[in-house]
Amino acid sequence: MYVLVVSDINECREFRHLCVNGRCENLIGVFRCECNTGYQVDETGGNCTDVDECLNPDNCLYGTCINRPGGYECRCPPNFELNPAGTGCIGPYATRIFLTLITLGGLVV
């Protein structure tokens, strides 16, 4: 006769500094990190590190991308403003120029 004893260590309670910038979830035999928005599980699986959104140029078109903990900032050059989605910079006259070009081209929208 065999007696199988299964014990689980709650790593989330036993070890401090697990899943920094996230939430530790204890599972049988292991644990898992649920990271906060803007963070991803690092290579050790034991912590959450900031996502560098600036590595993706689509996150800040025509602007200067500045990585921040848990997010990023898209700074626009003078006379440009951030688009509503926060993913790029648009000039104040961009819409007017576009409409003028359509008129000059004889296109009617």
Give the residues lining the site for Ca ion (CB under 5 A): 50, 67, 72
Please say which residue, 24 or 65, places its beta carbon nearer to Ca ion: 65
Find the shortest distance in angstroms from Cβ 28 to Ca ion. Answer: 33
- Specify the residue, 31 or 63, whose C-beta has the smaller distance to Ca ion: 63
Q: Which residues, 6 or more positions from 46, have their beta carbon under 8 angstroms from its beta carbon?
A: 18, 19, 33
The residue whose two tokens read 């590190």 is 49
Measure the CA–CA gap between 63 and 91, rounded to whole angstroms. Answer: 11
User: Nearest distance from residue 70's CB to Ca ion, in Å?
Assistant: 6
